[in-house]
Amino acid sequence: MSIVVLDKVSKKYRLSRLGSKSIREELGRMMNNLKPSSRGQAGSDEFYAVKEVDLAVKRGETIGFIGPNGSGKSTLLKLLARIIYPSEGKIMVGGSVASLIEVGAGFHPELTGRENIFLYGSIMGMKKAEVAKKFDRIVEFSEMEKFIDTPVKRYSSGMYVRLGFAVAAHINPAVLLVDEVLAVGDANFQSKCQQRIEQLRRGGMTIAFVSHDMPAVERLCDRVVFISKGQIKAVGKPQDVISIYYNEVLFAKKSSTGLAQNNTGLAIESQTSLYGQNAEILSVKFFNGDGQETDTISTGDKLTARIHYRTYTQIEDPVFELLFYSPDDRLYTHLTTAINGTNIDSLPDEGIVEFDCSEFGLTPGIYKTDAIFSQRGSVAPYDLKPRQYILKVLPGKSVRGMFYNPQQWRLLPPAETISVQSADSNFG
C-alpha cells in the first residue's frame, strides 16, 4: 500500500531567482505569480529542479535520497512537505507529514522554543493537550531545557536543528521527512537522531531521508533513490544504488581528489619522489580476487597490492608500507611489513613485494595511498610516494560500524562446552 505517490512531478524555477529559498520568499513568489509577468518571454531562463519524477513509497518504508549538490533532493522533500508545489504532475500523500528540511523552517523566530513546539503541534493538527503530553519528551530529547524560553531567533543553527528534529520525531506523523540539515548537529546529536530514526522506522513510520552520509543511508534505508539533475537515475536496494552513485558521481570526478587518471584508471599525482636516491618505488598496483589489475574492489573482497621497487645500493632490513587515507586526509589503515613479522633478508636489486588480504575491511569510499620503502628503525625512508595511488571501495559485504571484519561464529558442541567450562573454572 503506497502512502506517497508522485506522478510525473516537475518543479520549474527561474535561474534569475536562484538562491532565494526561504518560505517567505517562496510565498512572495507565489503571490507575484498571480500577477501578469513583467519579465521577458516565459521559459527563457527557466530550468527544472525536479523533472518528471514518478515514485511510490510504501507505508512503513524508509526511503533514502542521494545525489550530488543541487540535484533536487531538498526540492523533492519540500514538494512532499507542501512547502512548495509542483509546476507539473501530481503528489498524493496519505497522512500527516512532519519535516526537518531547512534549519529553522517551520519555526517562528520571535516565539520561544516552548511556543514553537505548541505552534508546530497545532500545524500538525494536534490538540494542545496532546502536545503538552509530549512536551517533556521533546525538550529532553533536544537537550534544550535551558533555552526553551528563549526566542528561537537567538538559537544557533545546531540548536534550531536539535529542537526541529526533536519536535518532528515525537509528534507521530504518518510520514517523516529529514534532510541533510541533521549534519549541522554535533556528532553526539547526529548519532542520537539516527538512533531515533531507527526506532521510528521499527515502529512502522514512513520516513524519507536525504543524506550524503552513505554508511548511514545504507544502514537506515530499505530503498534508495539516486537523483541527478532533478531526475531519478536509479531506485533499488541501498547497496546497489550507492554503488551506482559512487561509480557515476564520485569516482568519475577527477577533481574530487585533484588527481589525474592514467589509462589503467590508477591515479598519479606526479612522478615526484620525495626521496629515491638509494632505492625507489616504481609503482603500486592493486589486484582483485581474480588476479586482475583494478582500482576498484568491494568491502570484504580479496585485495592484493604489489609494490614494484628498485635499489641502487645495498639495503639492509627493508620495510614496505601502504597507508590508506580518506579524501579529507584521515588515515584509515596502515599496512606495514614492520609489524606483521615479515622479514626480508636479502633483497634483489629490483623486484615486487606483495601484500595480500583475503577480506579487505575498508568501507565504501575513495582512498589515497602512500607507499613507503624504508629501513627498519630509520627515520628517513628510502622512498615515499605520497597520496599517489587511488583505491576505490564499493559496498560489498555488509558493515555494521566503522569497518568490515571477517568473522566466523559457531555454537560449540556439548562435549567442547564442558571442556571449555572446566578450563575456565581452573582459571577462576
Residue ranges in contact with ligand ATP by CB under 6 A: 13, 17-18, 20-21, 49, 67, 69-75, 180
263 binds, among ligand ATP, Mg ion, none (CB under 5 to 8 A by kind): none
**71-79, 115-123, 255-263, 272-280 -> range binding Mg ion (CB under 5 A):** 71-79
> 31: which DSSP letter?
H
Q: What is the DSSP string of 191-215?
A: HHHHHHHHHHHHTT-EEEEE-S-HH
Tell me the C-alpha distance between 307 and 289, whole Å: 17
Cell of 143: 537537550
**Minimum distance of ligand ATP from residue 53's CB (angstroms):** 12
Binding piece for Mg ion, criterion CB under 5 A, among 2-10, 26-34, 73-81, 230-238: 73-81
- Radius of gyration in angstroms for the set of CA atoms belonging to the chain, rounded to a whole number: 27
* Polymer length of the chain: 428
Pick one of Mg ion, ligand ATP, none as the site partner of residue 104 (Cβ within 5 to 8 A by kind): none
**How crowded is residue 94: how many other Cβ atoms within 10 Å of its Cβ?**
14
**21 or 285: CB nearest ligand ATP:** 21
DSSP state of 425: H
Distance of alpha carbon 193 from its chain centroid, rounded?
15
Partner from ligand ATP, Mg ion, none contacting 72, C-beta within 5 to 8 A by type: ligand ATP
Closest CB to ligand ATP among 18 and 27? 18
* 247 neighbors 277 (Cβ within 8 angstroms): no
Q: Which is nearer to Mg ion, 19 or 40 (CB)?
A: 19
Residue 18 contact among Mg ion, ligand ATP, none, beta carbon within 5 to 8 Å by kind = ligand ATP
- Residue 144 DSSP SS3: coil
Residue placing its CB nearer to ligand ATP in the complex, 121 or 230: 230
Our CB check for ligand ATP shows the closer of 213 and 222 to be 213
Range in contact with Mg ion (rule: CB under 5 A) among 13-21, 74-82, 140-148, 343-351: 74-82
Write out 239-287 in H/E/C secondary structure. HHHHHHHHHHHHCCCCCCCCCEECCCCCEECCCCCCCCCCEEEEEEEEE
Q: β-strands 62-66, 223-228: how paired?
A: parallel
Instruction: Select 74 or 388, whichever has its Cβ closest to Mg ion.
Output: 74
Contact window for Mg ion (CB under 5 A) among 12-20, 68-76, 96-104, 245-253: 68-76
- CA distances for 212 relative to 79, 215, 315, angstroms: 20, 9, 47
DSSP, residue by residue, 107-138? --TTSBHHHHHHHHHHHTT--HHHHHHHHHHH
Q: Is 211 one of the binding residues for Mg ion (CB under 5 A)? A: no
Alpha-carbon distance of 215 to 401, in angstroms, equals 9
CB of 165 to ligand ATP, least distance (A): 17
Amino acid letter at 196?
Answer: R
Q: Which is nearer to ligand ATP, 180 or 301 (CB)?
A: 180
Contact between 239 and Mg ion (CB under 5 A)? no
DSSP 58-98: ETT-EEEEE-STTSSHHHHHHHHTTSS--SEEEEEE-S-EE
310 to each of 60, 274, 278, 342, 409, how far by Cα in Å?
60, 15, 9, 19, 44
Cβ 84 to ligand ATP shortest distance, Å: 7
Pairing of strands 318-325, 350-357: unpaired
Q: How many residues bind Mg ion (CB under 5 A)?
A: 1
Q: Which is nearer to ligand ATP, 91 or 119 (CB)?
A: 91
Least CB distance to Mg ion at residue 260 (A): 30
67 interacts with, out of Mg ion, ligand ATP, none, CB within 5 to 8 A per kind: ligand ATP
Return the one option of Mg ion, ligand ATP, none that residue 125 interacts with (CB less than 5 to 8 A, by type): none
Residue 49 binds which one of Mg ion, ligand ATP, none, with CB within 5 to 8 A depending on kind?
A: ligand ATP
Per CB under 5 A, 74 contacts Mg ion: yes
* Shortest Å distance, C-beta 99 to Mg ion: 12
Per partner kind, with CB cut-offs from 5 to 8 A, the member of Mg ion, ligand ATP, none near residue 61 is none
Closest CB to Mg ion among residues 49, 323: 49
The entry of ligand ATP, Mg ion, none that residue 260 binds, CB within 5 to 8 Å by partner kind: none
* Between 74 and 99, CB nearer to Mg ion: 74
Binding site for Mg ion (CB under 5 A): 74
